[in-house]
């Protein structure tokens, strides 16, 4: 897509950068010249991704950090500056999610998702944003949300509420921090198959076909498509884009909330669907923490 290394020497922090979409974006950023800081609660994930980047001649720093804990986030930022001397880009990708009828949610379950998605995004944005402001060079922040941040969606209420908060944060800071030369944007991906989480959301060929049929383009997203969009939004080519959210889902959001179709099933059908989704067959579905 790009004829040049549009991210040459930019230092990019990617939370949840060791697996799934975070890893795919990080690898693409490295190909385009960026130096990567990969953060995850599981060090083995980011170490594997960092080794892959370095094997191709890139630079990467794997770090362990729980985005819910501000002290660990501050330590991550300090380590990034100690290694690379600057910080140009933050991609808030770390996420947690699970499917459940809302009446069966626990208070702790709701708090866990909001803690990672909303509080974690704020923690990383504040820590990195302050350094960008101090540098005088500005920077770019990209938040990974979902279309149900504005449509809403049943059965993923904690994630929908948290992503809505992230979208509001995106638009608010785009205005407030523009004077510091910091752009803040978001991307809302639709279904992109990833190892682990995908099998929980579409546990059978029938479920996969149903999910594909709900997308106007009748296919799922490819990781390269998201990675190239993210790279564009972080590059100087998008220098006048600020406070926007780009949806990349084949038109799915236009036909309704992502999981609202489950509410259209009868009670028996809903029970069978949710039994497949929930860990241990308890009635919901596990989501990935690292996307």
Q: Residue by residue, what is the 3-state secondary structure of 158-196?
A: HHHHHHHHHHHHHHHHHHHCHHHCEEEEEEEECCCCCCC
Active-site annotation holds for 232: no
Alpha carbon 229 to chain centroid, angstroms = 13
Angstrom distance (rounded) from CA 13 to CA 34? 10
Which of 107, 148, 180, 237 is catalytic? The answer is: 148
| DSSP state for residue 235 in the 8-state scheme | S
Cβ pair 141, 184 in contact under 8 A: yes
Tokens of 277: 């989704």
Q: What are the φ/ψ torsions at residue 203 (nearest 5 degrees)?
A: -80, 0
Residue in this structure with the two tokens 């209420």, named with its chain if needed: 157
By annotation, the residues acting in catalysis are 148
């Amino acid at each position: 897509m790009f004829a040049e290394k549009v991210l040459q020497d930019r230092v990019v922090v990617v939370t949840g950068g060791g697996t799934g979409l975070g890893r795919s974006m990080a690898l693409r950023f490295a190909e385009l010249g960026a130096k990567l800081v990969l953060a995850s609660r599981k060090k083995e994930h980011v170490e594997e991704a960092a080794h892959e980047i370095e094997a191709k001649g890139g630079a990467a720093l794997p770090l362990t950090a729980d985005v819910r804990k501000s002290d660990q986030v501050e330590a991550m930022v300090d380590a990034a500056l100690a290694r690379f001397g600057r910080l140009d880009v933050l991609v808030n990708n770390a996420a947690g999610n699970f499917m459940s009828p809302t009446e069966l949610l626990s208070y702790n379950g709701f708090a866990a998702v909001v803690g990672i998605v909303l509080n974690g995004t704020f923690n990383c944005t504040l820590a990195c944003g302050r350094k960008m402001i101090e540098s005088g060079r500005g920077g770019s922040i990209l938040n990974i949300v979902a279309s149900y941040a504005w449509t809403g969606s049943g059965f993923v209420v904690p994630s929908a509420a948290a992503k809505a908060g992230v979208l509001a944060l995106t638009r608010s800071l785009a205005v407030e921090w523009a004077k510091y030369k910091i752009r803040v944007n978001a991307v809302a991906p639709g279904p992109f198959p990833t190892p682990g989480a995908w099998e929980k959301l579409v546990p059978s060929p029938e479920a996969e076909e149903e999910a594909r049929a709900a997308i106007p383009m009748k296919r799922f997203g490819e990781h390269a498509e998201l990675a190239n969009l993210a790279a564009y939004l972080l590059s100087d080519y998008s220098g006048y884009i600020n406070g926007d959210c780009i949806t990349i889902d084949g038109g799915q959001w236009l036909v309704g909330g992502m999981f609202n179709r489950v509410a259209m099933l009868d009670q028996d059908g809903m029970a069978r669907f949710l039994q497949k989704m929930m860990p241990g067959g308890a009635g919901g579905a596990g989501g990935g923490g690292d996307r």
